[in-house]
Structure 1
Amino acid sequence: MTHQNESEVLLELDNVVAGYGNLVALHGISLSVRHKEVVALLGANGAGKSTTLRTISGLIKPSAGAIRWKGQGIAGSPPEAILRLGISHCPEERHVWPEMTVEENVELGGYLLNSKVELRRRKEIAFHRFPRLRERARQLAGTLSGGEQQMLAIARALMSEPQLLILDEPSLGLSPRMADEVFDVIREINAHGVSILVVEQNVHKALNVASRAYVLETGEVIAEKDSASLKNDPELLNAYLGG
Structure 2
Amino acid sequence: MSAVLNAPGAVSGTRPAVATGTPLLEIDNLHVSYGKTAALHGVTLSVQPGEVVALIGANGAGKSTTLRAISGLLKPTRGSIRFKGKDIGGMPADRVVGLGIAQSPEERHVWSAMTVYENLTLGAYLCKSREVVQQRVGMVYHRFPRLKERHQQLAGTLSGGEQQMLAIGRALMSEPELLLLDEPSLGLSPKMADEVFDVVREINAHGVTVLLVEQNVHNALSAASRAYVFETGRVVADRDAAGLLQDPELLSAYLGG
**TM-score, structure 2 as length reference:** 0.92
Change (3 A) 1:173 1:88: same
Aligned to 1:48: 62
- 2:72 is paired with a residue whose SS is coil
Aligned-residue offset at 1:137: 0.3
Aligned partners of 2:78, 2:95: CA distance in 1, in Å?
20
1:6–1:36 Cα contact (<8 Å) kept: no
Indicate the residue corresponding to 2:237 in structure 1.
223
SS where residue 9 of structure 1 aligns? coil
**Partner SS state of residue 134, structure 1:** helix
73, 87, 93: which one pairs with 2:87?
73
Q: Which residue in 1 is equivalent to 2:200?
A: 186
Partners in 2 of 1:50 and 1:166 — Cα distance? 10
Instruction: Give, in whole Å, the separation in 2 of the partners of 1:158 and 1:71.
Output: 22
Tell me, yes or no, if structure 1 residue 25 matches structure 2 residue 39.
yes
Q: Give the alignment of 1:37-186 within 5 angstroms.
A: 37-186=51-200
Runs of 4+ in 1 over 3 A off after TM superposition: none
Q: CA deviation at 1:73?
A: 0.9
The structural deviation recorded for 1:7 is: 2.9
1:36 aligns with 2:58: no
* Equivalent of 1:213 in 209, 227, 252: 227
TM-score by length of 1: 0.97
- 2:95 partner letter: A
Residues in 2 aligned to 1:221 and 1:90: alpha-carbon distance in whole angstroms: 22
The one-letter amino acid of 2:183's match is E
Report the Cα distance in structure 1 between the residues aligned to 2:200 and 2:220, rounded to whole angstroms: 10
CA distance in 2, matches of 1:125, 1:219: 38
CA shift, 1:242, in A, is 1.7
Q: Secondary structure of 1:166's match?
A: strand
Matched residues, number: 239
- Identity across matched positions, percent: 66
Shift of 1:71: 1.2
Question: What is the one-letter code of the residue matched to 2:159?
Answer: S
Give the drift of 1:204. 0.5
Offset, 1:229? 1.2
In structure 1, distance between residues paired with 2:180 and 2:217: 17
- How far apart, CA to CA, are the structure 2 residues paired with 1:192 and 1:8? 20
Gap regions ≥5 residues in structure 2: 1-18
